[in-house]
A and B are shown apart, each in its own frame.
Chain A
Amino acid sequence: MSILVIAEHDNSSLKQATLNVVAAAKAIGGDIDVLVAGESCGAVAEAAAKAEGVNKVLVADNAAYGHFLGENLGELVAEVGKGYSHILAAASTTGKDFMPRVAALLDVAQVSDIMRVESDDTFVRPIYAGNAIATVKSSDSIKVITVRPTAFDPVAAEGGSATVEQLDVVKDAGLSTFVSEELAKSDRPDLGSAGIVVSGGRGMQNGDNFKMLEQVADLMGAAVGASRAAVDAGFVPNDMQVGQTGKIVAPQLYIAVGISGAIQHLAGMSDSKVIVAINKDEEAPIFQVADYGLVADLFEAVPQLEEELKKVL
């Protein structure tokens, strides 16, 4: 068996999710190659070559891949991937965008968002917002799979010594062009891989009040997230949403502040190791999954939390 992992990156650095996906590939077993498709992405290829367990790094460096457009990546990955038994990518917004195109071009099904590998053709994945867990078996000759990064412990970033090979395959479908992007700039850790996440919900009342959470997060080196309600209300941008259709997180510690705990939100965070809920409504469903619940007005509790943390950290 041979597995092709599509690297997750931003043209300058390799994202940790790639190491989680390589871990999923190791669980399947076989030679693991990594494809780095981007523009001026040499540093990413070098980083991928050092990852544990990688056999070979293939680099497709061309302007056509610079913005990870699904039409172009789909054609490239279908072409490069047709000699492999498995093609894996992170279930990120990039992976979710181009991987179904790869599957369709190869005329195979895709298995989305796997959280466990049972064998080389059988995988475990959540359905119904994680309220049911399905074990599915693929009968296709090439398995196209997106991987939930938080469900696999990453392989080591250092220690490998894969060969790096340049590809000259240029696939420009000519269907779409990049116009612009507004990316959130933050010095905090990435929400998807942070060890601690502090999230706010509708109870925060407005965007300014999220500053309270940011101060607490910065004390602990945490990322800041939000519930759908807080994003829909315009308190914070969409990239902070945790839930069924937002980001899936599984940190060591998740602190939910003013979040009631709709099933769609729980789907995005219930694999966290320790969950803390702060909510003034004693009946809020979030308390049914919380390891530590504090029934309190968040506008009193969060400043107190900041003071208490300063004492112990």
Chain B
Amino acid sequence: MKVLVAVKRVIDYNVKVRVKPDNTGVDLANVKMAMNPFCEIAVEEAVRLKEKGVASEIVVVSIGPKASQEQIRTALALGADRGIHVETDEEVQSLEAAKLLKAVVEKEEPKLVILGKQSIDSDNNQTGQMLAALSGMAQGTFASEVVVEGDKVNVTREVDGGLMTVSLTLPAVVTTDLRLNEPRYASLPNIMKAKKKPLDNMSPADLGVDIAPRLSTLKVEAPASRQAGVKVADVAELVDKLKNEAKVI
């Protein structure tokens, strides 16, 4: 079966985020960018499904500026077969991303779509669920285990109370949580091979989708910073301070 994986180019998770002095956003100039960590887990899961003989082809799609091709090439080096780049320099919000992905799903007709549960920039946690709703598909969000059996997929989900397993009729959408797998690193020969794998380029207009945003960001500020407090000498002093100074116990 064909598996579609969506990946997003975001600020590298190790980079310290700085708000621009004019409060219009976060400073991304000359900042290291990378594949969103949850998307890496999505790619890895697809590759493992292919290694098990469950997936026959892995198509990776990314929406974003020209540089997003780097993340598509990374996914190709990790084992995806071909790429689709929906190129735009405009801001694409979750609902519009879901509409673009729906159009790609209609063209490609994958049995399974795997996405990260959220991107670490906007922290929205929406696109996978929106895609599933727009395409009339079932969803297994926050997955920690994915088992395909015939025309169903069983997904174990990380929920607030523990774990919950659901059975979804294929085609379906899965969004990945942290413990689904541990992504591998691409080997140098595979990075070289990835450069020759096919990569289609298209625009939102080619897919017939209006990506005008519905939400406008009025300002972006740095959070109120906490001041480092005091060091206490021992446990007795700590308990004394909690009881008599902070009055929290």
Chain A residues near B (Cβ < 8 Å)? 10, 67, 69-71, 74, 92-94, 96-105, 107-113, 122, 126-140, 173-184, 192, 196, 220, 228, 231-232, 237-239, 244-245, 247, 252-253, 263-264, 270, 273-276, 287-296, 301, 304-305, 308-309, 311-313
| B66 CB-CB contact with A under 8 Å | no
A112/B126 in contact, CB under 8 A? yes
* Distance from A110 Cβ to chain B, minimum over Cβ atoms (Å): 5
| B29 CB-CB contact with A under 8 Å | no
A109/B249 in contact, CB under 8 A? no
State which of A70, A105, A313 has its C-beta within 8 Å of the C-beta of B249: A313
Q: How far, in whole Å, are A204 and B122 apart by their CA atoms in the complex? A: 32
A176/B138 in contact, CB under 8 A? yes
Which residues from 102 to 150 on chain B have a C-beta closer than 8 Å to any C-beta of chain A?
A: 117-118, 120-134, 136-142, 144
Number of A-B contacts (CB under 8 A): 270
Interface size class of B (residues with CB under 8 A): 35 or more
Q: How far, in whole Å, are A105 and B137 apart by their CA atoms in the complex? A: 12
B235/A108 in contact, CB under 8 A? no
A184/B95 in contact, CB under 8 A? no
| B202 CB-CB contact with A under 8 Å | no
State which of B118, B164, B215, B231 has its C-beta within 8 Å of the C-beta of A109: B215
State which of B118, B218, B239 has its C-beta within 8 Å of the C-beta of A305: B239
* Distance from B168 Cβ to chain A, minimum over Cβ atoms (Å): 5
Residues of A within 8 A of B136 (CB): 175
Residues of B within 8 A of A177 (CB): 166-167
| B205 CB-CB contact with A under 8 Å | no
Residues of B within 8 A of A264 (CB): 13
Q: How far, in whole Å, are A270 and B225 apart by their CA atoms in the complex? A: 9
State which of A108, A130, A182 has its C-beta within 8 Å of the C-beta of B163: A182
B167/A100 in contact, CB under 8 A? no
Q: Which of B55-63, B154-162, B185-193 forms part of the interface with chain A? A: B154-162
CB nearest neighbor in B for A243 = B178
Residues of A within 8 A of B126 (CB): 100, 103, 110, 112
Residues of A within 8 A of B246 (CB): 253, 274, 291-292
* Distance from A16 Cβ to chain B, minimum over Cβ atoms (Å): 13
Residues of A within 8 A of B161 (CB): 10, 181, 183-184, 239
Say whether, besides A93-B160, A131-B223, A292-B229, A104 and B165 are in contact (CB < 8 Å).
no
For B122, B213, B238, the residue with the greatest tally of chain A CB atoms inside 10 Å of its CB is: B238
Q: How far, in whole Å, are A295 and B142 apart by their CA atoms in the complex? A: 36
Residues of B within 8 A of A128 (CB): 11, 17, 26, 120-121, 123
B19/A132 in contact, CB under 8 A? yes
* Distance from B247 Cβ to chain A, minimum over Cβ atoms (Å): 9
Query: What sequence of 0s and 1s flags, for each residue 54-82 of chain B, a beta carbon within 8 Å of any chain A beta carbon?
Result: 00000000000000000000000000000
Say whether, besides A175-B137, A301-B235, A137 and B218 are in contact (CB < 8 Å).
yes
* Distance from A220 Cβ to chain B, minimum over Cβ atoms (Å): 6
Residues of A within 8 A of B140 (CB): 176
Query: What sequence of 0s and 1s flags, for each residue 232-249 of chain B, a beta carbon within 8 Å of any chain A beta carbon?
Result: 101110110111001011
B123/A140 in contact, CB under 8 A? no
B214/A140 in contact, CB under 8 A? yes
Residues of B within 8 A of A290 (CB): 228-229
A139/B214 in contact, CB under 8 A? yes
* Distance from A190 Cβ to chain B, minimum over Cβ atoms (Å): 9
Residues of A within 8 A of B94 (CB): 100, 109-110
* Distance from A265 Cβ to chain B, minimum over Cβ atoms (Å): 13
Q: How far, in whole Å, are A95 and B13 apart by their CA atoms in the complex? A: 26
B231/A294 in contact, CB under 8 A? yes
Say whether, besides A136-B218, A175-B137, A276-B242, A93 and B158 are in contact (CB < 8 Å).
yes
Residues of B within 8 A of A134 (CB): 217, 219-220
Residues of A within 8 A of B30 (CB): none
A237/B232 in contact, CB under 8 A? no
| B177 CB-CB contact with A under 8 Å | yes
Residues of B within 8 A of A294 (CB): 231-232, 234-235, 238
Which residues from 180 to 236 on chain B have a C-beta closer than 8 Å to any C-beta of chain A?
A: 213-223, 226, 228-232, 234-236
